[in-house]
Chains A and B, each alone.
Chain A
Amino acid sequence: MQGTSNLLNYILWTPFIGLIGVLLIPKAKENLVRYWTLINTAITFVLTLVLYSKFDTSIPGMQTAFNIKVPWISSFNIFYSLGVDGISLPMIVLTGLLFFLCVLSSWTVTKQIKAYFSLYLFLQMSVFGVFFSLDFFLFYVFWEVMLIPMFFLIGIWGGENREYAAIKFFLYTFFGSILMLVGMVALYYKMGAGVDSFNILAMHGGKFAGQTLDIFGMTFSFSKLFFIFLFIGFAIKVPVFPFHTWLPHAHVQAPTAVSVILAGVLLKMGTYGFLRIAFPIFPGASVHFSEAIAWLGLVNVIYGAFCAMAQTDVKKLVAYSSVSHMGFVMLGLAAMTVTGVNGAVLQMFNHGTSTAMMFLLIGILYERSHHRWIVRPDGSKGFGGLYTQLPKYSIVFIIAMFASMGLPGLSGFISEALIFIGIYERFTTITVLALIGLLLGAAYLLWMFKRMFFGDVIEECKNYTDMNTREIIYMLPLCIAVIVFGIYPAPVLNIMRASVGNLVEMLSKF
């Protein structure tokens, strides 16, 4: 399985080298830390693009040329095993891009810069690790390790209620991790003592169908029971209703860059977990539960949208919109058709870009206003007339907002349309109800826009300055991505087509 290229190693460990570099830089040289991190993430991003350029779109499974597999803990058959396919590549490029742009957005962080950027790079490494791992143990390690930088990034650099949010985030995710751990250990014993004990790819294909398990005198289906365990583990990350309440807290309290990473990449780790682990390992159980998953996805879509509409804090509103949009991903996954799953993976990518724009823009605004109230608790306006005051900012905001609500011509539409086409074939009623989500999605965003941007400039908004060059630079790539992939989605779809097709074909046999 050893491939010919070390590219995945380079991508995975470049942030780590950057981390060591940050630690070695003297504390006083703050700008050096910033530029070093910027260059480091830029190199990582370029490496992910190299990976993209060398990617062979015709291979349905793992790209063997990039596979890396060396023994790590031999006594337990644990391998350091990395690989990439069409499902993980879009996420990897997205990770590279967002981490690079968020350094620019973090330029204004002044509190303990060294610690901030070292944790930031540590986070990037663990995210790459999750997307690359082909060994369940390695996957789990990266999955858990990721919590550490997140905990501190929210807990130290966050808003006024940061500690509560950080602990909540940690405990919630940790609860899911434990269930995943149980599943992993169970799988380890089922796989036997060979070299494949933790090999995710070797577990694929419904090997555990029909096996049972006796607990407390009751007989359970092995695959159904542990599918539920894994499902909850990943569902908390997505987050699927009813495991979603950590998200508004974490998003609102987290600093801008961390919100962006959280919404843009970390949420997708949950749905990626379904695609890489839960679905292919337990295909029979996933098909069995697909209708239930679809209903949960529907609840996400509708409930998230309703809750978003009631918010008066703009960041919380966007956080709930993430709940709603990730519901679309769940719907696409539950469809288990070639259109649905392709749409879901595309939506993971597109939501990453559009929601990142929204959070970055809210961060830009927050730096000027130091509050996020659309309507203050006393009923007065928090913002007003921003269109007049901040013309450039408004244009970017319009692009982000319409991309987020899935306006055709911008990226969100194609993925949502594919998801709907996919889900219709299986669950017509759910399709009809989910379409309400599209309506509500437009409603809460436009209503927010109307309240913040139209009308006369209110007194306290009069000293806000428009976006500066640095802010324009980091918004521009996302604007381009949102528009280009809206008009021509084929570059992303071609990559995922074979891998997704392969997965769907396998699921269709159950």
Chain B
Amino acid sequence: MDYTIWNVAPIVLLPFFAFVINAFIVKRFTSLAVLISCGSILGSFFFAAKIFFDFINKFSENYYIHKTFTWFDLSYANMPFKMDMGIYIDNMTATMLFMVTGVAFLIHVFSTYYMKEDKRYGRFFVYLSLFTSAMLALVLSENLISVFIFWELMGFCSYSLIGFYYEKEGAGNASMKAFMTTRVGDVFFLFGIIAIWSVVGSVSFVDIYAAIAAGKFSGLLALGLPLATLAAICVFLGTVGKSAQFPLQVWLPDAMFGPTPCSALIHAATMVAAGVYLSLRCYPLMEVGEITYAISIIGGITAFGAATIALVQTDIKAVLAYSTISQLGYMVLGVGVGSYNAAFMHLITHAVFKACLFLSAGSVIHSLHDHHTHAHVQEMPRMGGLRHKMPYTFLAMLCCTFAIAGIPFFSGFVSKDRILGDALLMATHSKWYWIPTILGFAGAFLTAFYMFRMMFLTFFGEPRDKDLYDHTKKEKISWNRNIPLLILSVFTLGLFYAGSLTGQGFAKVAGERYEWFQTLITKPVVSEFSSRTKQAFSFSSTPSGLNFEKSQYDSSHGLSEKEAHHVHTVHHIGALVSIVIAFSGVFLAAMMYLWRKWNPGFWVNTFSGWYRALQNKYYMDDLYIKVLIQKGLLKLNNVLAFIDMGIYDRYIVDGTAFMNRVFFTVAKTTDDVIVDGSVDLTGKSVKAFNVILRTIQSGKIQVYFIMIILVLTGYIWKLSL
């Protein structure tokens, strides 16, 4: 297949035009607007699928499409400056496009069920369309500036959707918190982009890879750090903000203020994953900047820390929010330990199962209607036994819980296990990597525990709020509620990603296409990029003239037999440990919440200090908001503003008027006492002189003006003589 603008642009432009059209018609033709939104994303999905299957058919790890056009050009004489925009599609992009459009379409469909009764039903789809087009454009971006542009646009959509219920004061706080926290990361990201620009002279990924291969970063310093390290840290901080990593994770739980489908799309499946996607794209930079260990630590802390907080949450969406943070931590951990392929696979598998989890949670929340307060119920203590009321939702959610908890045969097991296996492998090479590895395994145990705790509290046992339970209608199958859940839950099977049931890559599924994921998604080899060519973006077809060899699955990972044996051994140990850990987590949850053999209250009482710390999210919100912002920033602002108007302007600027008055008084006193008193003899001439003085000191600004001109002209004329 040959690519022109017609193959690629519709992926982004269809949702974008849907946004533009809907922004105008949404008030009057709500149903039509919804139809346009859903139709456009379905169209995008078909275009993306075409590209995806084209790439799968090529089955070459080197296959790519790279087209650019000039956005603007400021070159003058020998000072070149050109900003390009364009698309870069490789296997990773194609997979991402397919996943994003697919998940987004299903979430659109589900939203027609979930948001139907909302008074801003149409408005919701306007934001969804803008968001989807920004996300797709980000995925297609060929350079960092364009990533940054769409990155921030998604931030804006996220802001609008978190603040969707703007009648609530809390929505305003949550949306502002989300935007500002990610903005902290974004500002660093922008600085990183600029630093890279100063070295490479472009921010195209391909150019950056080529510059790294050419060693352009070596030996450069900026602000006392190696420039590559500085740039890598800054770009990674962008990821930290967007993907809610420690210490900027505080915004994501609050983001649950938005409607549940948008939580599914933005704050679980796609936007937050964009941060990890960026880290993967910039992986060579992270390596050359030598910050991969720091990344793995951040990932480990986030994966474990968020999982601990999730243990004590009672709001079903909050549990899922913290599990999102924790899972993103695994992806970042994967980036840190060089597990490029597995980190990306976890991104994809997580997107699918987390979207499904959120939609299922949405399905539960939507059905639970408190007829006293007329609000939907999200609190798990009021649920219980719901599997009898909504069996289909329950099944979907169960599949996803299996996936996220790392139960074998499910997608989460395949991807998470590979990350942990690679972490273990790193730990066998360097002892410092034991820290993130252990954090990762411990987090996996907690994940299995809190996810099944959630399942047991929600769907099993006796209904704890009998009144609410009795008023809940039994789930009837409706297409826009259950079909998205069904499709997503089917895709929680590991089969689709690993090409085999066990995820260990031995079974052939369809001809030679086994292990497609591990074969096609590979770390970019930077030395190859200097020879790559960009094509001009055009409406007509331009044959690429490049031939790509089909890739073969290499079970020894390009290593010698002995090393490969070591790798496989470690991976098998890792897989075994993962399985044991997952099942013990499930067992513990069952003992506490299903069979009620062990009382969770005992643990709460024993570790009450820790329990309070977890409930307060380790006091990080308090640190940021109460200490840094309220005690620091706002106080500083008030002091500065007071100095500006209350002191500087009032006394120093306006003080010149006072000085004038003093001067005038002195002059007048001198005039009266000394001149008038002692030289009264020359009364007449003095009087005349006073008349002149009075005329001049008339307060007329024009007169002063003329005098100043005269004096200065004379003075400078004299100087120049």
Contact = CB atoms under 8 A, between A and B. Distances in A.
Interface of A: 60, 170, 172, 174, 178, 181-182, 185-186, 189-190, 213-215, 242, 245, 248, 303, 306-307, 309-311, 337-339, 342, 385, 387-388, 398, 402, 407-409, 413, 417-418, 420-421, 424-425, 428-429, 431-432, 435-436, 438-439, 442-443, 446-447, 449-450, 453-456, 488-490, 493-494, 497-498, 500-502, 504-505, 508
B74 A338 contact: yes
B294 interface: no
A220 to B, nearest CB: 11
Interface in B50-81: 71-77, 79, 81
Contact of A407 (B71, B156, B645): B156
Given A307-B637, A402-B156, A442 B76 contact: no
Contacts of B172: 449-450, 453-455
B691 interface: no
Interface string B145-172: 1001111110010001001001111011
Contacts of B713: 185
Nearest to A447: B176
9 contacts: A185-B712, A190-B720, A245-B645, A307-B644, A309-B637, A450-B176, A453-B172, A501-B74, A504-B79
B641 A311 contact: yes
A328 to B, nearest CB: 13
B135 to A, nearest CB: 14
A426 to B, nearest CB: 10
Contacts of B701: 170, 174
A449 B187 CA distance: 21
Nearest to B644: A307
B602 interface: no
Contacts of A172: 653
B76 A413 contact: no
B76 A498 contact: yes
B641 A446 contact: no
Given A215-B719, A454-B169, A497-B73, 5 more contacts: A172-B653, A245-B644, A310-B641, A429-B223, A454-B163
B124 to A, nearest CB: 15
Interface in B197-233: 197-198, 222-223
Contacts of B191: 420, 431-432, 435
7 tightest A-B CB contacts, nearest first: A501-B76, A454-B172, A310-B641, A408-B149, A310-B637, A245-B649, A450-B172
B640 interface: yes
**Chain B facing A: main interface SS:** helix
A435 B194 CA distance: 11
B15 to A, nearest CB: 14
Interface in B688-721: 701, 705, 708-709, 712-713, 716-717, 719-720
B634 A501 contact: no
A319 to B, nearest CB: 11
Contacts of A488: 71
A435 B188 CA distance: 8
Contact of A435 (B153, B168, B190): B190
A425 B648 CA distance: 34
A469 to B, nearest CB: 16
B184 interface: yes
Interface of B: 71-77, 79, 81, 145, 148-153, 156, 160, 163, 166-169, 171-173, 175-176, 179-180, 183-184, 187-188, 190-191, 194-195, 197-198, 222-223, 633-634, 636-638, 640-642, 644-645, 648-649, 653, 701, 705, 708-709, 712-713, 716-717, 719-720
A311 B641 CA distance: 8
Given A388-B166, A439-B183, A185 B198 contact: no
Contact of B167 (A182, A388, A450): A388
A408 B636 contact: no
B153 A501 contact: no
Contact of A490 (B71, B151, B153, B645): B71
A310 B640 contact: yes
Contacts of B717: 189
Contacts of A213: 719
B653 to A, nearest CB: 5
A414 to B, nearest CB: 8
Given A428-B223, A429-B223, A446 B74 contact: no
A215 B712 CA distance: 13
Contacts of B169: 454-456
Given A174-B701, A307-B641, A431-B194, A342 B74 contact: yes
Contact of B708 (A181, A338, A388): A181
Nearest to B79: A338
B220 to A, nearest CB: 11
Contact of B198 (A170, A178, A189, A425): A425
B181 to A, nearest CB: 11
B223 A409 contact: no
A438 B638 CA distance: 19
Contact of A339 (B74, B156, B166, B708): B74
A438 B76 contact: no
Contacts of B197: 421, 424
B72 A493 contact: yes
A449 B172 CA distance: 9
Contacts of B183: 438-439, 442
Contacts of A447: 176
A409 to B, nearest CB: 5
Contacts of A455: 166-169, 172
A490 B167 contact: no
B392 to A, nearest CB: 37
A493 B179 contact: no
B20 to A, nearest CB: 10
Contacts of B188: 435
A309 B701 CA distance: 37
B153 A450 contact: no
Given A245-B653, A408-B149, A417-B190, A490 B72 contact: yes
A245 B648 contact: yes
Contacts of B151: 408
Contacts of A442: 179-180, 183
A306 B641 CA distance: 7
A398 B75 CA distance: 34
Contacts of B179: 442, 446
A160 to B, nearest CB: 16
Contacts of B648: 242, 245
A85 B220 CA distance: 39
B19 to A, nearest CB: 12
A421 B149 contact: no
A394 B637 CA distance: 27
A52 B151 CA distance: 34
Given A407-B156, A454-B163, A309 B633 contact: yes
Contacts of B638: 310
A342 B81 CA distance: 11
Contacts of A429: 223
A500 B75 CA distance: 10
A502 B76 contact: yes
B128 to A, nearest CB: 17
A438 B187 contact: yes
A20 to B, nearest CB: 24
A497 B72 CA distance: 10
B76 A497 contact: yes
A354 to B, nearest CB: 15
A301 to B, nearest CB: 13
B166 A306 contact: no
Contact of B720 (A189, A337, A450): A189
Contact of A500 (B76, B190, B709): B76
A456 B169 CA distance: 7
Nearest to B642: A310
Contacts of B184: 439
Contacts of B641: 306-307, 310-311
B364 to A, nearest CB: 28
Contacts of B175: 450
B667 to A, nearest CB: 20
